[in-house]
Amino acid sequence: MPLTRRGFLHKMASLGLGACALVLSACKQQVIEIEKVVEKEVTKVIKEVVRETVIVEGTPQIVEKTVEKLVTVTPAPKPKVVVVADVMGYGWTQFAMLMSPAFEELFPNVAMRWQVLSDWGEYPARVASLAASDQLGDLLESPPGALLAWWTQKGIIRPFDDVIAADGFDTSGLFKSAMQSCVQQGNQMGLPFLCHTGENVLLYHPRLFDEVGLPYPNAEWTLSDLSKTAAALTTDRDGDGKTDQFGYSVRYSLPGAYPMLSLFGAVLFSQDGRRCLINSENGVACLHWAQEQIREHQLAPDMAEARGHLEMFLNRELAMLRHSFRTLVDMRRANNSEISGVLFPRHPTTGKVGAFAAGMAYCLTQRSRVAGEAFQWAKFMSSREMGVQMFLGGFADPGCRAASWKDARILERYPICAQIASAAEVADVERLPANLRISESLEAWNGRIAPLLLGEITPEECAKQIEKHISQILAQPMEEDVTTTPDTR
């Protein structure tokens, strides 16, 4: 039977419904649920009008008549847009590579190409070399801080603002601190896909608390609770007249101690990075607290007694230790399941939580000609589900959204993540020296912490010495090499 036009269209509709059913069936089998945006090239059905010559039998006439034909036209596939990512070889990059096929399924005209360069120590120099030879790709990775600022000043990266505006991307779900930490010169120079709050987790041994009948640390603790409990846990267990179990350990080197400055409302630099502000009431108070725990309360080992904070903690020579969430996770995965953690205690007067925004972001290179497609990848990796899967797979922290950190699958394993997410919304952002000499500035602080904790200088003298040294550093010209910038991830 000949196929009529109506019948043909009906059959085409039936085939379309069948294809949709297959797509829906396939989607149900996906392990990771992600917002799906699919572009399809649909086969077009057009009506072609042709002239057909017909010879009429029995007559000498040649008759031309008009005939309608249905012709199917399949457009040629669009060429793939390749997004080149010059990245580092860490866990989040491994996860990103695993997720590339899922992304390319969502965006069939985009292909991700990975150029894993090196570890953190070599990465900035490698990027600088590629930029100088005009061989950079489209995306880079950077922690917030001096490297991001340096790339901005050198014109290696460009802002995301216009791409975000054109896309209509709602950034309100991302941690405010993470977004703000990627702002340089008033522009959004990076889009975060990882965020954490620095070393502001109080690790503790529940068994040591049980042995003396003390309640465990909780989210309502202040520094006063910490000091009081640490004093009760500081003991001479073998009776030889020497302390062999300390309640706490003071770790005050930067950048790890940034959350402690944040807790006291102290800052190392002014907002414009042209002055050192540590010699202030808050700065001196921050230094005072550290010295008191060792010299007056004697609840923490001094520099001569501390052989290694983590080693002492694992050996139960320390009952409590301030460190990072990542350290807690690593210890748990190393079968130290009895170790627990809570958010570091608040300031006893202000109630402030110490939190410092850190993490990792994608940056868009100045030479990229595929900004829209590169942005789609950065947006994809900053989604809730990517953060959850990245953590559950053991690749990195749970992304850069409160929705990821507070996801039920995450909280089931680590309830502390809800506290960290709340702290991340208000976390302080690192202030940089105007000349980007961050390594020298942090050394000015770190070089005076040992004399402070040993009681060789007072907190007031320490603050004055740090301020004087950093002022001299700020008077120097712009830093031209950030390859030695400390890894604040």
pLDDT in tens, 311-322: 999 999 999 999
pLDDT value at residue 74: 60
Residues 267, 96: Cα–Cα separation, whole Å? 35
- Average pLDDT of the chain, as a whole number: 86
Residue 46 CA, distance from chain mean position: 51
pLDDT band at 68 (very low <50, low <70, confident <90, very high): low
Average pLDDT over residues 166-195: 96
pLDDT at 486: 43
- In order of their start, the domains of the chain are 81-197+357-425 (3.40.190.10), 201-354+433-474 (3.40.190.10)
Please tell me the predicted confidence (pLDDT) of residue 278: 98
Q: What is the mean pLDDT of residues 421-438?
A: 96
Gap between the Cα atoms of 92 and 198, Å rounded: 18
Q: Is the per-residue pLDDT at 2 higher than 60?
A: no
* Cα 31 to Cα 34: distance, rounded to the nearest angstrom: 10
Mean pLDDT of 458-485: 89
Residue 305 reports pLDDT greater than 80: no
Residue 299's closest CA among 324, 318, 323, 322?
Answer: 318
Kindly tell me if the per-residue pLDDT of 450 is higher than 70.
yes
Q: Six-digit token pair at 470?
A: 């950093």
Is 355 in contact with 423 (CB distance < 8 Å)?
yes
With 60 as the cut, is the pLDDT of residue 457 above it? yes
Question: 384, 205 in Cβ contact below 8 A?
Answer: no
**Of 18-27, 54-63, 146-155, 165-174, which range is least confident?**
18-27
Q: How many residues does the chain have?
A: 489
Q: Is the pLDDT of residue 63 over 90?
A: no
How far is the C-alpha of 96 from the C-alpha of 391, rounded, in Å?
12
Helices (H) and strands (E) in the chain, counts: 19, 13
3-class state of residue 53 by DSSP: strand
β-strands 340-343, 201-204: how paired? antiparallel
Q: Which ranges in 38-183 belong to alpha helices (H)?
A: 91-106, 123-132, 146-154, 161-167, 176-181
Q: Any idea which of 108-112, 113-117, 160-164, 354-358 has the lowest mean pLDDT?
A: 113-117
pLDDT at 396 over 70: yes
Residue 78 has pLDDT above 90, yes or no: no
Confidence of residue 42 (pLDDT cuts 50, 70, 90): very low
Helices 281-295 + 223-233 axis angle, to 10: 10
Whether pLDDT at 266 is above 80: yes
Q: Is the pLDDT of residue 82 over 70?
A: yes
C-alpha of 35 from chain center? 21
Amino acid at 456: E
Q: Whole-angstrom Cα distance, residue 453 to residue 299?
A: 13
Of the pLDDT bands very low, low, confident and very high (cuts 50, 70, 90), residue 238 is: confident
Q: What is the pLDDT of residue 358?
A: 95
Per-residue pLDDT, 117: 74
Nearest CA-CA partner of 455 in 290, 318, 321: 290
- pLDDT tens digits along 197-220: 999 999 999 999 999 999 999 999
pLDDT, one tens digit per residue, over 363-394 is 999 999 999 999 999 999 999 999 999 999 99
Quick one: pLDDT at residue 246? 96
Residue 11 pLDDT > 50, yes or no?
no
**Mean pLDDT value across residues 94-105:** 96
Give the residue among 138, 241, 153 at the shortest CA–CA distance from 191.
Answer: 138
What single-letter amino acid sits at 238? D
Residue with tokens 């050198």: 154
What's the confidence (pLDDT) of residue 330? 94
Q: 277 with 269: CB under 8 angstroms?
A: yes
Q: Which of 395, 242, 247, 396 is nearest to 322 (CA)?
A: 247
Nearest to 419 by CA among 354, 331, 358: 354
Over 80: is that where the pLDDT of 75 sits? no
State how far the Cα of 439 lies from the Cα of 449, in Å rounded to an integer.
16
* Residues 207 and 329 sit within 8 Å (Cβ to Cβ): no
Residue range 279-288, pLDDT digits in tens: 999 999 999 9
Other C-beta atoms closer than 10 Å to the C-beta of 378 total 23
Least confident of 66-70, 237-241, 399-403: 66-70
Angle (CA) 448-450-454 rounded to 5° is: 120
